[in-house]
Amino acid sequence: MNSSDLLDYCMSKPGAEQSVDNQWNANQIKVGDMMFAMVSAVQERPAISLKTSPELAEELRAKHPEIVPGEHLNKAHWNTLFLDGDLPDSQFYFLIDSSYQLVVESLPEAVRHDLGV
């Protein structure tokens, strides 16, 4: 898996917008002004950080060594996934979809309507 493919996939989501966080040298992907993904280097390794429920976050960390608490983010709700580990591509796509859906569900109804989601 590489960061370009993940960025492209994130940006294919309805209403997705990309910005650069210069402090963390990261690409942030938001929907309705709320971040659902951040692609960056963590500990000099390519990574993506994704929002999740606290329960799923803990379960994933316990199961996969390439998933750690979110770097620079709320560790209860964010996981960082290293791209150079053994996670299958399908797991990245599933977790991006889950993160996007979690954020979209938290948006006000009017914002969701404007985004068509």
Q: Give the pair of three-digit tokens for residue 1.
A: 């898996």
**What's the CA gap between 82 and 65, in Å, rounded?**
9
Q: 68-106: per-residue pLDDT in tens?
A: 999 889 999 999 999 999 999 999 999 999 999 999 999
At 1 the pLDDT is 80
Residue pair 43/54 in contact (Cβ under 8 Å)? The answer is no
Residue pair 78/49 in contact (Cβ under 8 Å)? The answer is yes
The label of the residue with tokens 């996939």 reads 9
Compute CA distances 50 → 45, 79, 113, 114, whole Å.
16, 6, 23, 24
At 25 the pLDDT is 87
Q: Each residue of 25-60: b (16+ CB within 10 Å) or e?
A: ebbbbbbbeebbbbbbebeeebbbbbbbeeeebeeb
pTM for the full predicted model: 0.94
Q: Tell me which H or E stretch contains 80.
A: strand 78-82
Give the confidence band of 64 by pLDDT, cuts at 50, 70, 90: very high
The one-character DSSP state at 47 is E
At 115 the pLDDT is 86
Q: 1-52: per-residue pLDDT in tens?
A: 889 999 999 999 999 999 998 888 899 999 999 999 999 999 999 999 999 9
pLDDT surpasses 90 at 109: yes
At 23 the pLDDT is 84
H helix intervals, the chain: 3-11, 54-63, 89-106, 109-115
**Domains defined along the chain, listed by start:** 3-105 (3.90.1150.30)
